[in-house]
Structure 1
Amino acid sequence: MIEQEQSRKPTFQIDQVAVYGDLVLAPMDGYSDYPFRNLAAECGNAISFSEFVNAIDVVNQYHKVPRKCVHSSMEYPFFIQIFDNDPQRIYRAAHLLLEYQPDGIDINMGCSVKNVSNRGAGAGLLLEPQKIAHIFRVLSTSLPIPITGKIRLGWDENTFNYLQIARIIEDNGGKMITVHGRTRSQKYLQPAVWEPIAEIKKTVKIPVIGNGDVQQVADIHRMKLQTGCDGVMIGRAAIHNPWILSYRDRSEISIQEVSQLFFRHLEYNVDFYGAEKGLVLFRKYADRYLRPYAAFSSETRQQMLTSNHLNEFQELAHQFFSNLLLNHAES
């Protein structure tokens, strides 16, 4: 995979790390795990970000950390995203995470969840610009890999400090900025605005990734045109349509393709987590894949999404897709 890409011209660079492509799967807690990231890589994901990793968990050697940080050769480049409110703990965690050989470390300054942001981590860091400066300065001068960051526009409508934060990140050695077009207080309740992404792109020289309300391929083109960003990050829309990472809307995807990806994703989950846990964790993806067919055979669909037995689930899924294809052929 890497050897094939080295023969191509990179789309852009994160310091010395080459990036091939301009569509990126967002790091999403509980969703962008190892199986789904590998599926996303097959669909064209240009940068693989881990799920959120708590620096406290890393320094305390919490047993779930390795599962979040392991990655495959398909995931290039691979960045581990960490969050915390303590610069010293972030420093210790980042150095410990070198064990997993990431291509970079990403600092989360965008998470709006209360139990993260209210303790000064995630988007809570936006209220402390000097702390952000310290984190990036220390990490960028002590680690052999690039340090990047994901931000929101500010804590709320009274604290729009995205340009200040962007300059701080660049001035203190940060090599890329991802910008989500909302404040912390807006969470996901209001439409994202993209004009600040364009402002940041004009202000800094490092790559800028735009994020927020990209649902369709047309949105990708609009964001790139309006902001001039180097890449577009896609979160929730990619869960039901990972093909968007290869510039394809869900309406373009055949039933056969959905079925093939559905069973491949299930196989990845079972291989990684084991049959019982792999199935339970897969059901939330299955629900998203099947939502466009919600009006069809709702009883079988409901049985499938509540099944706790792998063989039963697979039989129901094969039955569902076979009947769906037959119904589609007759219509």
Structure 2
Amino acid sequence: MLLNQPPTIFEQIIATDAQPVSFRVREIPICGDLILSPMDGYSDLPFRLLCRELGSAMSYTEFVNVDALRFGDHKPNNIAWRKLKYDPSEYPMTFQIYGHDEDRIVETAIRLQDLGPDIIDLNMGCYVKDVAERGAGSGMLRDPAKIGRIFARLSTQLRVPVTGKIRLGWDDATRNHVTVAKILEDNGASVVAVHARTKEQAYRGEADWDAIAEVKQAVRIPVIGNGDVKSVADIARIKAHTGCDGVMIGRGAIGNPWIFSRLDRDQVPAQDKIALMRRHFALNLDFYGERIGLVLFRKHAAKYIHGVPGADRLRLALLTCNTPEEVECLIAELAQDSERHARTQT
């Protein structure tokens, strides 16, 4: 597998011709309107590759703490550096970073350009306590002036475009999504992605799509909408409701990457789900090695097989598997169960 290599001209032409251009990140065309959201623990290289093949228009790494990156120490098992590995087929590739120290954010972003990302994105949406209360992630939303200073420096000192992902604010009393989006635009951001909840909401309650529409009306740069997109119908609804240029899908893609092909889970035959499971498992083993690859695959497998005959038994059995051969045997049994079930339905 080729990693951290820029795409060839041929690969760029293929990417450009695949779908109409929905929007541009500065000069970079985004060919398609659906995008896998950066998600810690999920949007790793194996899952991103599957989502790209199924229609996701661009790639974001899992978010990486700038304080965890030690230049000159690119050890393959260093978790932070491993998150930044990518495949040339993922063009355009976005590195998402987070932190609280202005100088550290800017200095790290400058140096990361040497690894060849097409875009660098600053996470201002993570609600996790250890991140936000230290002033990183959504904690940055409490200091819009600081955001402006950081983006002014990034947009003038980076060769690549810089973008930002935000929430609506710290809480309902301090919503400032429009203000922050304008600050991003005024200080050189090329795109703003908006998760339509506050930090305090985390994933509770409904996403406020009206807020995304407010941002879209307030800025000229492209706006990516995010939050509560769980079905193909939701894609059409959020676009009609907000006018957003792109739709970012996170939890709705876990177990159903076919959503990027505009297919809901119940439209995908069991055999196709099982085939993709096998492929995902193989990619995990290749990328992480047997032990870690197997453990990290379990959470995806549980989602893939939801509603498939024999799923409950397999879900429990996966927890005790210790070798790839055991997992392959379980998947083979699941395939046989699905075939028998299909024959009884005809």
TM-score range, shorter chain: over 0.9
Matched, 1:170 2:180: no
Q: Which amino acid aligns with 1:242?
A: P
Report if the CA contact (8 A) 2:271-2:338 is conserved.
no
Q: 2:27 aligns with which of 7, 12, 16?
A: 16
Cross-structure match for 2:13? 3
Aligned equivalent of 2:341? 327
Corresponding residue for 1:298?
A: 312
1:35 maps to a residue whose letter is: P
5 Å-filtered alignment, 1:1-331, equals 1-7=11-17, 9-59=20-70, 61=73, 63-293=78-308, 296=310, 298-331=312-345
Measured at CA, do residues 306 and 15 of structure 1 come closer, stay the same or move farther in structure 2, by a change above 3 Å? Answer: same
- Structure 2 residues without counterparts, runs of 5 or longer: 1-10
* Partner SS, residue 179 of structure 1: strand
Cα pair 1:152 1:183 within 8 Å, conserved = yes
| Paired residue secondary structure (2:89) | coil
Q: Is the 8 A contact 2:310 2:337 kept in 1?
A: no
Residues 93-102 or 298-307, more deviating: 298-307
TM superposition shift of 1:92: 1.3
Q: Indicate the RMSD between aligned Cα atoms, in angstroms.
A: 1.4
The one-letter code of the counterpart of 1:238 is: A
User: Which structure 1 residue ranges, 5 or more long, are not aligned?
Assistant: none
After TM superposition, where is structure 1 displaced by more than 6 Å over at least 4 residues in a row?
none
Give the TM-score normalised by structure 1. Answer: 0.96
1:30-68 per-residue CA deviation (whole Å, 9 max, x = no partner) reads: 110011111111111111000010010124657222211
Q: Distance in 2 between matches of 1:109 and 1:299?
A: 40
Aligned mates of 1:209, 1:297 — CA distance in 2 = 35
Deviations 1:59-98 (A, max 9, x none): 4657222211111111111101101111101011101211
Instruction: Kindly provide the CA deviation profile for residues 129-167 of structure 1, in whole angstroms up to 9, marking residues without a partner as x.
Output: 010001100000000000000000010011011111000
Shift of 1:301: 3.7
Counterpart CA distance in 2 for 1:292 and 1:78 is 33
Change (3 A) 1:124 1:296: same
Q: Secondary structure at the match of 2:172?
A: coil
Pair 177,320 (structure 1): closer, same or farther in 2 beyond 3 Å: same
- Which AA in structure 1 matches 2:271? Q
1:212-239, Cα deviation, whole Å (9 max, x unpaired): 0111110000000000000000101101
- CA-CA distance at 1:323 after TM superposition: 1.2
Whether contact under 8 Å (1:301, 1:320) holds in the other structure is no
- Partner in structure 1 of residue 4 of structure 2: none
What letter corresponds to residue 38 of structure 1 in structure 2? L
Of 59-68 and 172-181, deviating more is 59-68
Whichever residue aligns with residue 30 of structure 1, its letter is G
In the TM superposition, residue 297 of structure 1 has moved relative to its aligned partner by: 5.8
Q: TM-score, normalised by structure 2?
A: 0.92
